[in-house]
Amino acid sequence: MSLDLNSLLKEWPHESGSIKVRKVPGLDGREKLQLRIDLGLLQMEMEGRPDGQRPHNCESYLVYHQRRAVRAAERGEEYELTPEQCGELQQEGIQYYHRYLSLFQIEEFDGVIRDTQRNLDLFTFVDEHSEREDLVWSFQQFRPYVLMMHTRARVSILLADGQFGDAIREIEKGRDRISEFFQQSAFPELEAKSSEIAFLDEWLDEVRARRPLSKLEVMEREMDRAIQGERYERAAELRDAIRLIKAQS
């Protein structure tokens, strides 16, 4: 059997500027996720570590080190990551990045939430177990982007269910988490240049504009129009109805 992938790649050509993702059945009976890149394709597992490996018989290097850190704490010892271990963790984090980016493209948002939260936990773990500021920042610099993607996935689920109010609050929460990160970092000036905050602010305006008016808002607008049209009796009726609704809420 030829190992040449050209026939496979020709059937699924790369398109510059687009992210092409598909799910395919695996020989082991489990679905695989494939991401087309310019030089070929990446194939990932849908669950666990994307490459299917189980380092030290754990789901991931992160889980392995988390367990070791817990055991060290139980002995009253500090757990310090070496630069080499940080390098392994960073490479693993890139795998999860490729997967959550792919899952986002096919709108499997629960998987995006899972994998982005996993990488956020990775950043926190390295921050807690490395004294090297340069190593810590090599992870933390990606926190705004991962927070944005985490927020986008959560909001997308809410919007699909028509929960505009919750979606708006979730966008505000995500934006505030990014802002807080910058303010607590060594580079607070980066907040003003954050493309992640700019994106969420723009999206927030779009969602607010799309949100259907509540019954109370419809009545308040009608009352304003009644006042402007000098239909004071109708305005008074609406005013009393609005007060009653607010008192009951």
Q: Which domain holds residue 234?
A: 215-248
Q: Kindly report which listed range (53-67, 146-160, 221-235) carries the lowest average pLDDT score.
A: 221-235
pTM: 0.85
The angle subtended at Cα 187 by Cα 184 and Cα 192, nearest 5°, is: 95
Residue 138 lies in a domain: yes
State both tokens at 177. Answer: 């988490």
Residue 217 in this model has a pLDDT that exceeds 90: no
* Same domain for 116 and 78: yes
Q: Which of 225, 178, 220 is nearest to 197 (CA)?
A: 178
Place of tokens 């807080």: 180
Instruction: Judge whether 223 lies within some domain.
Output: yes
Same domain, 227 and 194: no
Q: What is the mean pLDDT of residues 51-68?
A: 97
Q: In this prediction, what percent of the chain has a pLDDT beyond 90?
A: 78
Backbone angles phi, psi at 75, to 5 degrees: -90, 0
1, part of any domain: no
Q: Is the dihedral of CA 26, 89, 139, 153 positive or negative?
A: positive
The answer to whether residues 66 and 58 touch, using CB atoms and an 8 Å cutoff, is: no
Q: What is the pLDDT of residues 191-208, one digit of tens each?
A: 999 999 999 999 999 999
CB neighbours of 172 closer than 8 A, spacing ≥ 6? 204
Please check whether residue 192 lies inside any domain of the structure.
yes
Asked if the model's pLDDT at residue 98 lies above 70, the reply is: yes
Same domain, 56 and 72: yes
